[in-house]
Amino acid sequence: MALEVVSGRKVLYGSNDSKETMRVFASLFEHEVPFEFINVNIKPKDHRSFLSQIPFGELPVYKEEDDDLVLFGSRAIMRYISHVYMIKGKEHVFVSPRMQGMVSSWIESEDHWFDPLASKLIYELIDKPKVGLPAEEAVVDETEDELAKILDLYEDQLKENDYLAGDKFTSADLTHLPNLYYLIKTKTKRLFEERPRVAAWCALIMSRPAWAKVLAMVHT
């Protein structure tokens, strides 16, 4: 497979059930950006040739072929979409430096604090059982303890507003959705349910119509 170049197309290459691709799906759907999705099966031997065309060899990759633009890294793609395709009256990244700073801070928090713990739990509680391996309960317990501390900070942050960066849904909230989707399928769900503001936030952002479209892509 090669990265195709056809004028005017916006193309997302990825794996439809990966957290990283789901993050970009959510951003594209929220911002009503028409796009074509090419599901890349990374198991066959020829995936190495395909990935060699991509910086750092990682998916997803987003292409805007009118401008010969190639972006990689799900959060970088999400940030680009939220700035370039803002919808008037429904801005997801605000024009003021203050709001941009707040949104960026919580995206960074998700990337550096929330995601590593969530990913470790998903690996232990979902990925390993799929291949017949038991979860390491000591690892799960330790990771849940660390995630609980992070969620306590989220609970405090949400005391004034329904969303992490203020009174509107932004990419700061959106970036959490893929991990939340998988974590609520596990026993770790209780950590969210035990914190009323966090629980309400999760329910609110996971009920968005754009996220329903993402799940339809995942289950295609």
Ranges of each domain in the chain = 10-85, 97-213
Q: Assess contact for 108 and 79: CB atoms under 8 A.
A: no
Q: What distance in Å separates the CA atoms of residue 63 and residue 22, rounded to the nearest whole number?
A: 16
| Residue 132 φ/ψ region, left for φ over 0, alpha for ψ in the -120 to 50 degree band, beta for the rest | left
Q: What distance in Å separates the CA atoms of residue 2 and residue 57, rounded to the nearest whole number?
A: 13
Q: Which CATH class is domain 97-213?
A: mainly alpha
Q: What is the pLDDT of residues 87-146, one digit of tens each?
A: 766 655 556 778 888 999 999 999 999 999 999 999 999 999 999 999 999 999 999 999
Alpha helices, H only, the chain: 19-30, 47-51, 74-84, 97-109, 115-122, 128-130, 137-157, 171-174, 177-183, 189-193, 196-206, 209-218
Q: What is the pLDDT of residues 11-24, one digit of tens each?
A: 999 998 899 999 99
Q: 9 falls in which pLDDT band (50, 70, 90)?
A: confident
Model pTM?
Answer: 0.90
Average pLDDT rounded to a whole number, residues 55-70: 83
Residue 146, amino acid? E
CB-side neighbour CA atoms (13 Å) of 58: 12
**Which of these, 9, 142, 113, lies nearest to 64 by C-alpha position?**
9
CATH number of 10-85: 3.40.30.10
207: exposed, middle or buried (Cβ count in 10 Å: 0-12, 13-18, 19+): exposed
